[in-house]
Amino acid sequence: MAACSSIEGSSETASSKKDGSNEIQSIVVGAQASDFQVWKFIAQSDAAKEAGVTLEVEEIIGGPQLNIATDEGEVDVNAFQSWAYLNSFNKESKSDLTAFATTYLEPMGIYSDKFDSMEDVTEGSVVAIANNPSNASRGLLLLEAAGLITLPDNFDALGTTSDIINNPKDLTFVEIDDTTGPRILQDVDLVLIGNTIAMESGLNVLKDSLFHEEVNDETKDNINILVTQNENADNDDILKLGDLYHSEEVQDYIEEQFDGTKVPVQKGITYLEN
């Protein structure tokens, strides 16, 4: 676990405040990869100063490690995961971490070096799909949205290719480590690639994919969220972070840095729950 503070401040965090007050001198946010970059910017932004929020940002590598650090109070808030990931973690670990704000959707896309549009996809095409359950099921839902397959109504996050009930183009599926997706574009007909991996390879999901996720009821499980301990979920200072993320200054920075591929989502948590 690697840690680095972007702002020096009080070591007193939301979870260590014992005097019963609702004021926090410093909020510790745990993040990784592009989220770490974003929250380092937020910590130093004018928007944070105007909101009266002092942030320390720690880089912690690995989703489970980030959630464990939050659960144990080492960080107050984490910014890295989707609604589906949080629910899976809480169920498996019997934790009670709580989402309090939505941030963005990073769309998964269908990419190809062989076809120029979804209409060009031919019978018998080979599709590379992730070998992990969450991204595999997400990819299958994307293929259904693109009109290539049909899934049962009760298809869920543990669904697999064996659940496909209609495959009119007789697609063939090969499982891959999804981090290798961009490297095998020339070897298969279609590849399902998550946006973080696509960005690292210079691909823009909004411009380079044949088809990609959009923000709607079918993709709400994939919306990213801010997460804290259940007992901090109504803390006024922590709740400010949702609005802070969606401030004009921060959104302008994210748009510039990530070319629109972090699609902002500012909805209540009840939207994800229903």
Judge whether residue 179 has pLDDT over 60.
yes
DSSP characters for 126-144?
A: EEEEESSHHHHHHHHHHHH
Strands of the 172-176 sheet, one edge to the other: 172-176, 126-130, 190-193, 109-111, 211-212
Q: Do 100 and 48 belong together in one domain?
A: yes
Q: Do 199 and 158 belong together in one domain?
A: yes
Domain-embedded: residue 75: yes
- Output the pTM of the full model: 0.84
Q: Do 48 and 182 belong together in one domain?
A: no
pLDDT in tens, 80-109: 999 989 998 999 999 999 999 999 999 999
Q: Do 101 and 131 belong together in one domain?
A: no
Contact 88, 29 (CB under 8 A): no
Judge whether residue 3 has pLDDT over 70.
no
Rounded Cα gap, residues 84 and 141, in angstroms: 14
Number of domains in the chain: 2
Q: Do 134 and 82 belong together in one domain?
A: no
pLDDT in tens, 114-138: 999 999 999 999 999 999 888 899 9
Confidence of residue 159 (pLDDT cuts 50, 70, 90): confident
Q: Do 179 and 240 belong together in one domain?
A: no
Structural domain of 20: 14-106+221-273
pLDDT in tens, 12-62: 455 444 344 445 469 999 999 899 999 999 999 999 999 999 999 999 999
Contact 80, 22 (CB under 8 A): no
Domain-embedded: residue 7: no
Rounded to the nearest integer, the mean pLDDT of the chain is 90
